[in-house]
Amino acid sequence: MSQHPALAPGRCALVTGAASGLGLAAARAFAGLGMNVWLADLPGEALEAARAEVAAVAAVEVRAVPTDVGDRAAVDALRDAVLAHGGPPAVLMLNAGIEAGGRLFSDLDLWHRILDTNLWGVVNGIGTFVPGMIEAGRPGAVIVTGSKQGITTPPGNTPYNVSKAGVKVVTEALAHDLAGRAGCPVTAHLFIPGFVYTGLTRARGAAEKPEGAWTPEETVAFLLERLGRGDFYILCPDNETTRAQDERRIAWAAGDIIENRPALSRWHPDFAEAFRRHMEG
């Protein structure tokens, strides 16, 4: 399997939301490739436990920095700490995210909490780290964790959907900007996981991994494979949803605009039969 040139032994990978789930699995994978790893997450025992777990993977440098990614000053301080230990990261994985059970009419505090972490955490990370990665002139990769819900935007959980839709737009803009810079060796990638058994899944009541879910390790392995291929949209399947099903769902969502159907027509009773036929191909 070919690898992205940024994934080189001795270089640095920084992962936000690294104390559990996909972030921790990615940090372990980067350490396994011989990269030095920085873990950023909220302060607490989980972050220190993650540092110890990643440090046990290989003889690499592993540092954990408590960071609220929604706070630009905190992200600036994280950057300064990384730069003081050898320059900008080769891999910047902006993965921190929360769901928090928000709804359209949730109070503003909950809206801000979700958007500050999920969207502003990405904006802050890009604005703080990427200029230095560009100036370094070495191969680099910016990986941003999005969501299928940011593309198909199902009813409910509206603040989360909004945050992940914004993440998609920001990452697309970054990729376009980087591609337009002559000779720039830094690339951007939108990581779109499928159904993954993480802390969010457990919080919904799944004490054991559902059969339909992938593990974080399986999902990160898929990420690294597609990163090596140079994909921008890294759309992950899982044990219950195929790539073809995802493509049809995404195409239907775009078709709402083209065909002037009601908003979110996939869930509208008048379009249930048409959507069923569409999914059957």
> Which residue stretches of 6-91 are H helix?
21-32, 45-55, 72-83
Q: How many whole angstroms separate alpha carbon 227 and alpha carbon 187? A: 10
Of 30, 111, 129, 160, the catalytic one is: 160
Amino acid symbol at 144: V
* Rg of the chain in Å (alpha carbons): 19
Q: What is the pLDDT of residue 121?
A: 98
Burial of residue 184 (number of CB atoms within 10 Å: 0-12, 13-18, 19+): middle
Burial of residue 221 (number of CB atoms within 10 Å: 0-12, 13-18, 19+): middle
Give 233's strand partners: 190
Q: What is the pLDDT of residue 198?
A: 84
| pTM of the entire predicted model | 0.96
Task: Please say if 160 is a catalytic residue.
Answer: yes
Q: How many whole angstroms separate alpha carbon 69 and alpha carbon 56? A: 26
Q: Which 8-state DSSP code applies to residue 269? A: G
Q: How many whole angstroms separate alpha carbon 106 and alpha carbon 103? A: 5
Burial of residue 191 (number of CB atoms within 10 Å: 0-12, 13-18, 19+): buried
Q: How many whole angstroms separate alpha carbon 226 and alpha carbon 217? A: 14
Burial of residue 110 (number of CB atoms within 10 Å: 0-12, 13-18, 19+): middle
Token representation of residue 77: 């301080």
| Four-residue CA torsion sign, 62, 64, 68, 72 | negative
For each of the chain's 281 residues, which pLDDT tens digit applies?
799 999 999 999 999 999 999 999 999 999 999 999 999 999 999 999 999 999 999 999 999 999 999 999 999 999 999 999 989 999 999 999 999 899 999 999 999 999 999 999 999 999 999 999 999 999 999 999 999 999 999 999 999 999 999 999 999 999 999 999 999 999 999 999 999 998 666 656 667 889 999 999 999 999 999 999 999 999 999 999 999 999 999 999 999 999 999 999 999 999 999 999 999 98
Domains (ranges, CATH) in the chain? 12-240 (3.40.50.720), 242-281 (no CATH)
Q: How many whole angstroms separate alpha carbon 200 and alpha carbon 244? A: 25
